[in-house]
Amino acid sequence: MSEASSAKRYLPSGKVQVRYNRCGRTIDRWTRDPKLGFPKPIVIRGKRFWDEALLEQFERDCALAKVAEA
């Protein structure tokens, strides 16, 4: 595996909003709700970024929870 392919990818808040089709306030609420398990962002120079791998894990966890409900 090359060094570039193993590097973490971070998404800025605007791209996270587009990814989930939600406004920034909703993403803020998700981040503050411990029961939801939405990943916490890292802050760099006052801007928030999310680890894409953690977002993907959150999506898998949500999908598994839906399957378990059915």
pTM of the model: 0.84
How far apart CA 1 and CA 29 sit, in angstroms, is 37
- Residue ranges per structural domain of the chain: 10-69
Element (H, E) at 9: none
Give just the sign of the alpha carbon dihedral 31, 29, 62, 35.
positive
pLDDT digits 0-9 by tens, 9-62: 999 999 999 999 999 999 999 999 999 999 999 999 999 999 999 999 999 999
In this prediction, residue 58 carries a pLDDT of 97
- Number of Cβ within a 10 Å radius of residue 56: 11
In this prediction, residue 4 carries a pLDDT of 55
